[in-house]
Amino acid sequence: MPFAQQLWQAMLRDLPLISGPLTLFFAATIMLWPGDLLLPSNKKHIWAPITLGVLAVSAALVANTANGSGFSSMFQVDGFTRGFQLLCTAAAFITVVLSQPQLNALQEQTVEYYALILFSLGGMQLLVGATDLVSVYFSVELMALCIYILVAYLRTQERSIEAGVKYFLLGAFSSGILLYGISLLFAAGGGVTTNLLQLNQKLALATHNNSLLVFAGVLMVLVGFAFKVAAVPFHMWSPDAYEGAPTPITAYLSMAPKAAALAAFLRVFGTGLASVHSDWSAPLGFIAAASMILGNVAALRQQSIKRMLAYSSIAHVGYMLLGVLSKDPLGGARAVWLYLLTYLLMQSGAFAVIIHLQGTGEGERLDDFRGLARRRPMLAFAMMVFMLSLAGIPPLLGFFSKFYLFMLAIQQGQYLLTTIALLTSAVAATYYLGVVNLMYFKEPTGVQLPRLGTALALTVGCTCGLVLVGTCFGPWLLDWAQTITWF
Amino acid sequence: MEQSLAVIGSHLFLVFGLLALGGAATMVFARSAVHSVVGFLFCMLALASCYLCLGAEFLATAQILVYAGGIVVLFLFVVMIVELSKYKEQTRFQLHTPWAVGLVVAGAAAFIAVFWQTYFSPSAPQALTLDPTLAQGLDVANQNAQAISRGLYADFLLPFEILSVILLVALVGAVVLAKAERT
Amino acid sequence: MPSMNSVLLISFLLFSIGVVGVLIRRNALIILMCAELMLNAANLNLIAFARHSGTVHGQAFALLVMGLAAAEVAVGLALVVALYRKKSTIQVDELDLLKG
């Protein structure tokens, strides 16, 4: 009995730490059953506002969770956790809003869609606070499993199923590599612990004969994580998955799981593997450079804007990996968080425009943007703002976060990588400006577009406004970034 | 007698390991999907025996129940559903097979070469030899299952709960993806 | 008692066979089985090193991984069935709607 009582008390003591994810899981479960049974079938669209409400509650709980560590040091709430949890929740919020046009048009308003988004967000919120390789692995798998299903959600469309199968096989392969790497690190640490801080200490003391084990383990964990963030050369089927998935899910894919996976990357490599920095800094540098180069170069040749944004997100991950490389993990974390915050705003705005165009059967191909300035001047202006900001052109918000990140990289002495980043940013400007060129300087070909729905209009308007004036809020943004700490 | 049992014990692990490798090789190179699944089953059973050699009785049983009893059966069902029109595949391998095989063989050879040199050289430390008395630690409450339960619910509570959510998501996903289309 | 060297060697060979299988086979089911094999190789490592240190940390982790593998297989097979229904094929290089 005392053992069971101890367990119960330990659990009750630690539950408030995960109040955010817990709300999401409970809400999603109740939505699935008996929620869906009780709702009449012509009112299924109510799930969207309910989901938004749940997301708001979860965000409030997350913001109010006090610092602490629990579950046998497997989960920890600190400024870092809260910052990234809020980022992922914002991404999920925007995704639900962006999903409405397509789900309404296809009459696919089902509760499972929203429940899966809630479950995946719960996995992400647990991932960014995980301080043990075991909880990292399981949170990644929860997040990824929901996303495999979401990518293949429109199973009547061939491309959606194809994208889902490819993404799933890639994900299963990468999770095998990640787990094997974790098992090697577990072995190298003596087979007693997978806690990040304890592992760090044990790895620092690794004997010469264990160093091969450590090296192999670290490399495999790096490869596994690189698959999860879709960095080169492990990006094999990601552009396909991005292209075939339903467009709001593509938006979700390019924002939230990347943010959560990068947060896990920062925590695992910043605290857990910091003592073996020399083992992974060179391979990670290579991966970052390759992502920046290939992501930007491949985006030049794309005909579909979804694919172009997919390759450009690979390039953005390359830039953010510069933050992971830094020897000062907290500084890197702050730069990455700031970059992700601005990236979230720009990507959601761009995808809102694409989804609006898709409503009329266009929006997939770059050619659909021809002459948009004449058909819909405000929309074209917003898209121009997003494209310029993604390219990092001052004085827009994108420039601010890129500048902060590159400044950190230079301070850390990574001159070669920063040079590559600057050169490839210039290349990126080419294809981003290409879209602007198409919108403003080419003849329109499409039909008359309907009016923008309220939700989409609000999204585009807010994000555009924020991106335009965001740099004026620079000091406040930097203050927010300073709250990203861990202990 | 004890000594010969110990020697047999260590060799038994290698025997089962080699059987597992054989099953895996069958799985990868077989022409018919059913042969692959049978190879997979054989590999899982051999691995269960390997776990027994390592003193993990509960896990060996779980391996047989979950993998051989659940996952292999699922695979056979799906093989039945999708293989009705073909009995044997014409081409088994993808176009880039030589590159992939070359890459993996090179990587494995490099790893094993360094590994051999490090671990089988005369100066390899005692660190990797097993201390039989440490096996007592696995039987904390006189039974392996009780020891595991203590570890699972006391230390691994969070991953356990996440796993339960994962299983729920898998349930939802399987229904969402595979249900019959609405007419 | 098996030495850790042989365990590491066998688990690494199993892992490599799994990697080779994922990279070279065309049948989506076989690719999935090879991914499961990779997870099993990692499990073998975990259990062996739990034995090595005398704690149950690795064994509990391995048990949880088995549950995870089952869930992943369930979703993967549902995807394969949905794919077969749509395209009547499960060979991955016949999935060419999305380029490359």
CA distances from A6 to A209, B153, B155 (A): 40, 11, 12
The count of CB pairs under 8 A between chains A and C is: 127
Closest to A186 (Cα-Cα) out of C10, C61, B110: C61
Q: Domain range for residue A362?
A: 157-247+255-482
Q: Which residues of B touch A151 (CB under 8 A)?
A: none
Q: Which residues of A touch C22 (CB under 8 A)?
A: 169, 173
A358: left (phi over 0), alpha (psi -120 to 50) or beta: alpha
Does residue C99 belong to any structural domain of this protein?
no
Does residue C51 belong to any structural domain of this protein?
yes
Total domains present in chain B:
2
Total domains present in chain A:
1
Tokens of A168: 């799933």
Could you give the CA distance from residue A300 to residue A303 in angstroms, rounded to a whole number? 9
Q: If interface means Cβ-Cβ distance under 8 Å, which residues of chain A face chain C?
A: 134, 138, 141, 145, 148-149, 152, 155-156, 158-159, 161-166, 168-169, 172-173, 175-177, 179-180, 182-184, 186-187, 190-194, 213, 239-240, 243-244
pLDDT at B126: 45
Does residue B181 belong to any structural domain of this protein?
yes
Helix (H, G, I), strand (E, B) or coil at A412: coil
Apex CA C50: angle with CA B150 and CA A272, to 5°? Answer: 95
Closest CB to C10 among B17, B135, B177 = B17
Q: What phi and psi values does residue A187 have, to the nearest 5 degrees?
A: -65, -45
Closest CB to C35 among A158, A176, A193 = A176
Which residues, listed in sequence order, are joined to residue C91 by a DSSP beta bridge?
C27
Q: Are A440 and A373 in contact (CB under 8 A)?
A: yes
Which residues, listed in sequence order, are joined to residue A76 by a DSSP beta bridge?
A69
Q: A484: Cβ–Cβ under 8 A, 6 or more apart, which residues?
A: A79, A80, A83, A330, A333, A334, A337
Q: If you count them, how many residues does chain B have? A: 183
CB contact under 8 Å between C72 and A145, yes or no, is yes
Residue indicated by tokens 């500048």: A403
Could you give the CA distance from residue A481 to residue A459 in angstroms, rounded to a whole number? 24
AA letter at B37? V
The pLDDT profile of chain A, 487 residues, written as one tens digit per residue, is 788 888 889 889 999 999 999 999 999 999 998 888 888 877 778 888 999 999 999 999 999 988 888 888 899 999 999 999 999 999 999 999 988 888 887 777 788 999 999 999 999 999 999 999 999 999 999 999 999 999 999 877 888 899 999 999 999 999 999 999 999 999 888 778 888 888 888 888 876 667 788 888 999 999 999 999 988 888 888 888 888 888 899 999 999 999 999 999 999 998 988 888 888 889 999 999 999 999 999 988 888 888 888 899 999 999 999 888 888 888 899 999 999 999 999 999 999 888 888 765 555 777 777 777 877 888 888 888 898 888 888 888 888 899 999 999 999 888 898 999 999 999 999 888 888 888 888 877 766 667 777 778 888 888 888 888 887 888 888 888 888 888 7
Does residue C72 belong to any structural domain of this protein?
yes
Closest to A184 (Cα-Cα) out of C22, C43, B53, B103: C43
CB contact under 8 Å between A138 and B170, yes or no, is no
Q: What is the CATH number of the domain that holds C23?
A: 1.10.287.3510
AA letter at A235? H
AA letter at A462? C
Q: Supply the ipTM of this predicted assembly.
A: 0.96
Mean pLDDT of the B96-125 span: 73
Does residue B163 belong to any structural domain of this protein?
yes
CB contact under 8 Å between C57 and A169, yes or no, is no
Closest residue, chain C, to B20 (C-alpha): C14
Closest residue, chain A, to B153 (C-alpha): A7
Q: Are A28 and A111 in contact (CB under 8 A)?
A: no
CB contact under 8 Å between A190 and C31, yes or no, is no
Number of other CB atoms surrounding residue A416 within 10 Å: 10
Q: Which residues of A touch B115 (CB under 8 A)?
A: 212
Q: Which residues of B touch C4 (CB under 8 A)?
A: 128-130
Q: Are A221 and A265 in contact (CB under 8 A)?
A: no
Could you give the CA distance from residue A350 to residue A359 in angstroms, rounded to a whole number? 15
Q: How many CA atoms lie less than 13 Å away from A30 in the CB half-sphere? A: 8
Last residue of one domain, picked from the residues B53, B82, B111: B82
Closest CB to C47 among B17, B54, B174 = B54
B154 touches chain A (CB under 8 A): yes
Q: Domain range for residue C50?
A: 4-94
Q: Are A237 and A165 in contact (CB under 8 A)?
A: no
CA distances from A47 to A98, A126, A260, A291, B161 (A): 14, 24, 25, 38, 26
Closest residue, chain C, to A240 (C-alpha): C98
pLDDT at A444: 76
Q: A80: Cβ–Cβ under 8 A, 6 or more apart, which residues?
A: A128, A263, A266, A267, A330, A333, A484, A485, A486
Residue indicated by tokens 């990868």: B28
Q: If you count them, how many residues does chain A have? A: 487
* Whole-prediction pTM: 0.93
Could you give the CA distance from residue A288 to residue A412 in angstroms, rounded to a whole number? 15
Average pLDDT across chain B, whole number: 81
Does residue C100 belong to any structural domain of this protein?
no
Which residues, listed in sequence order, are joined to residue C25 by a DSSP beta bridge?
B93
Q: Which residues of C touch A174 (CB under 8 A)?
A: none
Could you give the CA distance from residue A478 to residue A443 in angstroms, rounded to a whole number? 42
Does residue B99 belong to any structural domain of this protein?
no
pLDDT at A458: 82
Apex CA A340: angle with CA A86 and CA A253, to 5°? Answer: 85
State the smallest CA–CA distance between residue B90 and chain A in angstroms. 22
B 93-152 residues inside an 8 A Cβ radius of A: 111, 114-115, 118-119, 124-125, 127-128, 150
Higher pLDDT, A401 or B141: A401
A141 touches chain B (CB under 8 A): yes
Closest residue, chain A, to B181 (C-alpha): A156
pLDDT at C55: 83
B100 touches chain C (CB under 8 A): yes
Does residue A57 belong to any structural domain of this protein?
no
pLDDT at C56: 85
Closest to A65 (Cα-Cα) out of A49, A52, A79: A79
Q: Which residues of B touch A115 (CB under 8 A)?
A: 172
Does residue A70 belong to any structural domain of this protein?
no
Mean pLDDT of the B143-166 span: 88
pLDDT at B88: 54
Tokens of A165: 């199968």
Total domains present in chain C:
1
Mean pLDDT of the B142-166 span: 87
B85: pLDDT strictly greater than 60: no
Tokens of A478: 């930097």
CB contact under 8 Å between A193 and C35, yes or no, is no
Last residue of one domain, picked from the residues B65, B82, B99: B82
Q: Which parts of A238-330 are beta strand (E)?
A: none
Q: Are A122 and A25 in contact (CB under 8 A)?
A: yes
Does residue A192 belong to any structural domain of this protein?
yes
pLDDT at A40: 80
The radius of gyration computed from the CA coordinates of chain C, to the nearest angstrom, equals 17
State the smallest CA–CA distance between residue A103 and chain B in angstroms. 15
Could you give the CA distance from residue A14 to residue B161 in angstroms, rounded to a whole number? 13
Does residue A71 belong to any structural domain of this protein?
no
Could you give the CA distance from residue A101 to residue A248 in angstroms, rounded to a whole number? 10
For the stretch B11-42, pLDDT in tens is 888 899 999 999 999 999 988 888 999 999 99
Does residue C76 belong to any structural domain of this protein?
yes
Report residue C4's pLDDT band, with 50, 70 and 90 as the boundaries: confident
Lowest mean pLDDT among A154-163, A227-236, B83-92, C8-17: B83-92
CB contact under 8 Å between B158 and A216, yes or no, is no
The count of CB pairs under 8 A between chains B and C is: 251
Could you give the CA distance from residue B105 to residue C20 in angstroms, rounded to a whole number? 9
State the smallest CA–CA distance between residue A387 and chain B in angstroms. 35
Closest residue, chain A, to B159 (C-alpha): A135
Does residue A474 belong to any structural domain of this protein?
yes
For the stretch C56-78, pLDDT in tens is 889 999 999 999 999 999 999 99
Q: Are C76 and B175 in contact (CB under 8 A)?
A: no
CB contact under 8 Å between A72 and B156, yes or no, is yes
Dihedral (Cα; A6, A11, A17, A23), 10-degree rounding:
-170
Q: Are A81 and A124 in contact (CB under 8 A)?
A: no
Closest CB to A134 among B150, B156, B176 = B156
What is the DSSP code (8-state) at residue B64?
A: I
Could you give the CA distance from residue A222 to residue A261 in angstroms, rounded to a whole number? 12
Q: How many CA atoms lie less than 13 Å away from B146 in the CB half-sphere? A: 8
Q: Are A138 and B162 in contact (CB under 8 A)?
A: yes
Last residue of one domain, picked from the residues B82, B109, B132: B82
Q: Domain range for residue B62?
A: 1-82
CB contact under 8 Å between B156 and C60, yes or no, is yes
The count of CB pairs under 8 A between chains A and B is: 88
Does residue C31 belong to any structural domain of this protein?
yes
Tokens of A179: 């787990």
Could you give the CA distance from residue B20 to residue B42 in angstroms, rounded to a whole number? 7
The greatest distance separating any two alpha carbons of chain A, rounded to the nearest whole angstrom, comes to 78
State the smallest CA–CA distance between residue C1 and chain A in angstroms. 17
3-state secondary structure A207-240: CCCCHHHHHHHHHHHHHHHHHHCCCCCCCCCHHH
Closest to C98 (Cα-Cα) out of A306, A34, A290, A474: A306
Which of C9, C22, C24, C38 to probe by mutation at the B interface, max B CB count within 10 Å? C24
